[in-house]
Structure 1
Amino acid sequence: MIAPRAGAGQLRVRVTAAGLNPMDWFMTSDAGTAARFGLSLPAGFGTDYAGVVDQVGDGVAGFAVGERVYGAALSRAVADFVVIDAAGTATSGGDIHHTPDGLDDRTAATLAIAGSTAAAALAVIGAGAGDTVLLGGAAGGVGVFALQLARRAGARVIGTGSPASFDFLRNLGAEPVAYGEGLAERVREVAPSGITAAADLYGTEAALTARELGVPDARITAIAALIDGITAANGANAAPGALDEIARLVAAKELRVPIAASFPVEQIRDAVEVQAGRHVHGKVVIDL
């Protein structure tokens, strides 16, 4: 196979690791879903990547061959090389960031989609000191970032998950409650004074429960569903610099990124099956 080349305004990255997200298999599950992301099937796979710049096109400043980088390239990150537009975005041309010292490539490859989505979700609901926040799907890839960022902002976090995830959630600073029928009553038991904000990082259950508990729509968000009256959170809308700040915090060991499993690229089918099970505690990574 001939490696792609970086054109003007582009960089070529030799990929060393690619992080998986639920959106990866959603996008490649059927033609209609792919089309909503601007893709046609068959397509590549994976969006989060980390690696080393090995070619710099004309007109690109700020990056040099040999520098470690990470970022997002929609549905093409699981590859030996990925070509990124220096001025691109995750969904158009790819985006690229310098990897801070102290941050290994496997961890850097988990940051782009989950980190930016978590930051965007917390910005929508304005989580901060004095808040009690309900996070749906708190043990998932986005949840581990949102949980810790909310705690750093001074909020109390109640996270939904399966009983098997409870110790994991407690270790990250959340108070766990089981998802499913009766969630509102379980949240009332844990927080008798009520909750003030919610981010549903899985579906609609946590968002609708927050409504039931009296949280105004302006302080509720969801990332994987559209609910009338509730603002959806999208990583593309994260504040400038939010992802770089998350990378800095992870490198400084002020945020943890639990990696649930890693697989060599030859076992990508197994990795996708683990990710698609939707019960992963943390992130799944492909090593290239």
Structure 2
Amino acid sequence: MIVDALEPGQQAVETVTVGVTNAVDNAPAWTQRWETQQAGHVPGREEVFALMLDVVERLVGEPARVLDLGCGPGSLAGRVAHRFPDAEVVGVDADPVMLELGRRTLGDRVRWVQADLSEDGWADGVGTPASGVDAVVSSTALHWLPADRLGGLTRTLAGLLRPGGVFLDFDTLLADDRATPRLAAMTAELRRERTDVRTGAPGFEDFAAWWEAAAADPGLAPQFAEREANRPAGGHGGSSLVTWTDALRAAGFAEVDTVTQLLDRRLLAAVR
């Protein structure tokens, strides 16, 4: 595990590194800085990661195959690999910078797949067996999907997961502003205010500052060039709890519910 020295007031974050085969250049340092800024943006992140893996084990036992969607540099995928050493772990992301950092930090313990989850056929490169996948997990990534792509994604997930398999998504999932407009507005406002207090602290490197700093590293120049050439439109379209719940149920998931939440940041679970 890697724990960098932190400034006073910053939260210590342990980064599990597993099976490193090609840890070169500055990738582990960039990955650690990513972990630190993410911990500032998402309070309780480490505890939720541990809870996610507890849920996987309770519902499917020791998983043989786990997919991490929007895996970034492998924050969650690395923890899956550490908790379940015999599992095949596949990280899927469209961003070449994130995937390169993951490859250099975690090596081949995770199988890295570059694919855009908003496009049809993204799962073709995953190569899942006929017996299906035991669990699909994701953390603070799928809110970038356009809302009109959630139906296709959830149907694909239903096809990938074996019967009884589980999908877990830890993300900002907004409350229904039609049914509970005051509560929805309040929870979103409180989340933003509390996040701003942490990320605005002196010396804290936030999300935007991390990307700006990483872009100046010559060792990542090819990946940033590819990123700029193929940057998707994005748009936070898939961040509605109601939209996600409806899409998962329509795709055939037997059970869908929130396992835990802080304001409107939730761990949503769906059993196939």
Query: TM-score, structure 1 length as denominator?
Result: 0.38
Query: 1 or 2, which has the higher helix percentage?
Result: 2
- Which is greater in Rg? 1
Query: TM-score, structure 2 length as denominator?
Result: 0.40
Query: 1 or 2, which has the higher strand percentage?
Result: 1
